Structure 1
Amino acid sequence: MSGVHLSVEGALARLTLDNPAKLNAFTPAMLAQLDAHCATLERSADVMCVLVQATGDRAFCAGADIAEWAPLSPFEFARNWVREGHRVFDRLARLSKPTIAVLQAHAFGGGLELAACCDIRVMAPGATLALPEAQVGIVPGWSGTQRLARLLPEPVLKEMALFGRRLDAGRAHALGFVAEVADDPLTVAEGIAAGMANASPRAVEVAKYQIHAGVGEDPSAMIEALGAGMIGASADKAEGVAAFAAKRKPEFPGT
């Protein structure tokens, strides 16, 4: 059945877009599945890395299924489609686990925005990237003008969003948007993920939070997460909890 599927193999998880008949275009059901899978992954203590991949050889993801959003009223389109998609994509972007997008084929519109949510990207040489929304009378709505503006130079993003130009794999790699171009991007991505085998899961998580705070990816939440982690390991926190449970005045050791 088409959708977004989650599978876990030891420390490696895979989020697979599986709607090849529609070039893996997103439906509301797929957004809901991605949201639920992100919640599952956050609760997993074993998963260290997540691959975001897709079935078929024609497209990684062609964006949002036009048949799903075209009939919506302006109000429904803004609230139920754009805002909901943005929220779910943000959840993927801020996942505590490192993520790798496997671009075996074209990523257009929402598909490119999905890839931008991942920490790094591996791309097939024949794949291209595009923001074709203006060609159907809309604008990017799932962070294409926001998150992508941090990952691509402004003139390049304008080439894509305003003039409809595609970005090929070689140029995407030269710009730093793509980590590696490979004939078999899935195998390369799996190899990159395997490189984390000897890494500290908590150190990786904290490093991701620090980088996100530095580049403006929800910095307030990242800073508070870092602070909470630091205080959560303190003797003061342990004493405060114990004192509350015992209904006594805490005696904080200051460590």
Structure 2
Amino acid sequence: MSEVHLHIEGGIAEIRLDNPAKMNALDVGMIRRLAEHCASIEADGSVRAAVLTSEGDRAFCTGADIKAWGEIPPLDFARGWVREGHRVFDRLARLSLPTVAALQGPAFGGGLELASTCDIRVMAPGAKIALPEAGVGIVPGWSGTQRLLRLLPEPVVKEMALFGRRLDAERCVSLGFAAEIADDPRARAFEIARGLATLSPRAVEVAKWMIHAAVGEDRDAMIEALGAGMVGASDDRAEGVAAFREKRKPVFPGT
């Protein structure tokens, strides 16, 4: 039975795909569970970093389970399957804490799009990435032609989406998509996460927001969040709230 597990220990959250019989392909239930786990992580103030892993050693994730979407009517496919997947993947990409993906095997289609939501990726020597959707008569639907273009050059994305080329781990590192290659990517991902957990959580969070604003990842919300955080720490905010509660005119100190 397919599942997505969440385990939190020592300030590190592990989100683990568990559908090894289908090479960790994603179905509706797994997508919903990802959303639930993102909410749990955000609500848990003890978490400093998250690691995205998957069960078994055959694949990280080979995309969306064809049986899960193959019979969905076109309009429902666009409205539900594609948009819901986007919503959940965006939620993962926009977690306020740093995320690391451990790719012990192929990340194809939706699996590649899922890995692309993380801040850092570690790949096994034999891992590959691809966008094979054209081979089954569809197109990338969970940001393979959008977010992925912020991580890889346009010609490279075209190689995968138009010509079906697969990129090996060495090329992924040379292009900057993966941070490094490790024989045990899960162990290395946790090592990176534990290092992240020693840093200032607020500084890391704000730095991630600033970078996301620069590259266009939820830019409007990131800019307003940064501004709100700065003003929220001011004496002016405290005076404004106090004046509202006391039903008087505020006298802002400008600090």
Alignment size in residue pairs: 255
CA RMSD of aligned residues (A): 0.8
TM, length-normalised to structure 1: 0.98
Of residues 186-195 and 122-131 in structure 1, the stretch that sits farther from structure 2 once superposed is 186-195
Deviating beyond 6 angstroms after TM superposition, the runs of 4 or more aligned structure 1 residues are none
Q: How far, CA to CA, are the matches of 2:24 and 2:90 in structure 1?
A: 19
Moved more, 240-249 or 82-91: 240-249
- Tell me the equivalent position of 2:138: 138
The residue type paired with residue 245 of structure 2 is A
1:192-236 deviations in whole A, cap 9, x for unaligned?
112124311000000000000111111111001101111111111
Distance 1:214 1:154 in 2: 18
Equivalent position of 2:51 in the other structure: 51
Aligned equivalents of 2:222 and 2:141: distance in 1? 23
In the other structure, the counterpart of 1:252 is 252
* Match in the other structure for 2:230: 230
Matched residue type, 2:176: G
Structure 2 letter corresponding to 1:12: I
Q: 2:49–2:197: 8 Å Cα contact kept in structure 1?
A: no
CA drift of 1:84 comes to 0.5
* Percent of residue pairs bearing the same amino acid type: 69
- In the TM superposition, what is the alpha-carbon distance from 1:244 to its structure 2 partner? 1.1
Distance 1:111 1:131 in 2: 9
CA deviations 1:65-113 (Å, max 9, x no partner) are 1101011111000001000101100110011010000001110000000
Q: Is the 8 A contact 2:231 2:237 kept in 1?
A: yes
Q: Deviations over 1:27-86 (max 9, x none)?
A: 111111101111111112110100000001111001101101011111000001000101
Once the two structures are TM-superposed, the CA of residue 242 in structure 1 deviates from its matched residue by 1.1
Cα distance in 1 for partners of 2:67, 2:144 equals 20
Instruction: For 2:5 and 2:238, locate their aligned partners in 1 and report how far apart those are by CA, in whole Å.
Output: 40
Which residues of structure 2 form unaligned runs of 5+?
none
Aligned to 1:120: 120
Give runs of aligned pairs for residues 166-181 of structure 1, distance below 5 A: 166-181=166-181
| TM-score when normalising by structure 2 | 0.98
Residue 175 of structure 1 and its aligned partner are, at CA, apart by: 0.5
Structure 1 unpaired stretches of 5+: none
- Structure-to-structure mapping, 1:77-92, within 5 angstroms: 77-92=77-92
Matched, 1:243 2:233: no
CA contact (8 A) 2:98 2:196 kept: no
Aligned twin of 1:129: 129
Letter in 1 for 2:51: L
Q: Deviations over 1:136-195 (max 9, x none)?
A: 000000000001111101111111000111000000011110001011111111111121
Instruction: Work out the CA distance in 1 between the residues paired with 2:33 and 2:196.
Output: 27
Query: How many Å separate the matches in 1 of 2:37 and 2:249?
Result: 42
